[in-house]
Structure 1
Amino acid sequence: LVADIAKNHQVRKKYTIQLGENELVLKELELLKEEANVYKLIGPVLVKQDLAEANANVRKRIEYISAELKRLDATVQDLEEKQNSKREAVCALPILLNFVMLLFSSAKC
């Protein structure tokens, strides 16, 4: 569980960085005039792209990343709840063991 939680935190960090970058790109695109030239890097080639299309693509990426962050948050919360449940079970073992030993010692008398 600990490894899964750590992995999810790493993925969340990556998505958070990507979200920030995409929000910055969106702000930059909003500053441009309609007739401005916008280019998209596809492999080693810059391809001209319509400003409205670029805006829409960035907004879709932001939506996707935000949804992934929510999903990761839910997953991490679920994993942390499982971890806490197991921790409580492990902490209860010595108490249970003492109780069983007490029962056996009183049964011998």
Structure 2
Amino acid sequence: MAAIPAEIQKLQEELIKNRDSFQKLEQELQKLSANRSKLLTQLNENEMVKKEFDLLEVDAKIYKLNGPVLFKQTKDEAENTIAQRLNIINTNLKQVETNFKETEKKALDQRTKIFEIQNKIRAAVQPPQPKQQ
């Protein structure tokens, strides 16, 4: 009978370790989700700016705010800046999406391990049921 409590103790320690890992993965998913939302907001803002630039005349006066100073830019310079920003944002967004999917898979695997350990603990605690005929 002494083997069962030791086995249960070992399973409980393993359960706690896996639960802690799962919680860390959940926190990571929350951070990635917040980062994704921020990037999507930036993407939408920059796409709106690009659409506004498409409506401007070629010789339109465009100013860029840099700190407290406005600098004059050509339309081509401004469009190139926006294109570079969109490229960077899209690259970052793809990376966040990849990390999110990987972390989500790890969390799902961790959750499965937790359920398996919980089932082992239940089986170890409950005495075997006699078969009914």
* TM-score of the two chains, using structure 1 as the length reference: 0.87
Aligned-partner residue type, residue 55 of structure 1: E
2:43 aligned residue (14, 19, 23): 19
1:35-65 deviations in whole A, cap 9, x for unaligned?
1100000100110001101001101101110
1:78 aligned residue (80, 102, 120): 102
User: C-alpha distance in 2, partners of 1:34/1:88?
Assistant: 59
Q: What stretches of structure 1 move > 2 A for 4+ residues in a row?
A: 94-97, 99-103
Q: How far did residue 95 of structure 1 move?
A: 3.0
Q: How far did residue 94 of structure 1 move?
A: 3.0
Aligned-partner residue type, residue 113 of structure 2: A
Q: How far did residue 96 of structure 1 move?
A: 2.9
Aligned identity (percent) is 33
* Larger relative contact order (CA 8 Å, sep ≥ 6): 2
* TM-score of the two chains, using structure 2 as the length reference: 0.72
Gaps of 5+ in 2: 1-24, 129-133
Residue matched to 1:107: none
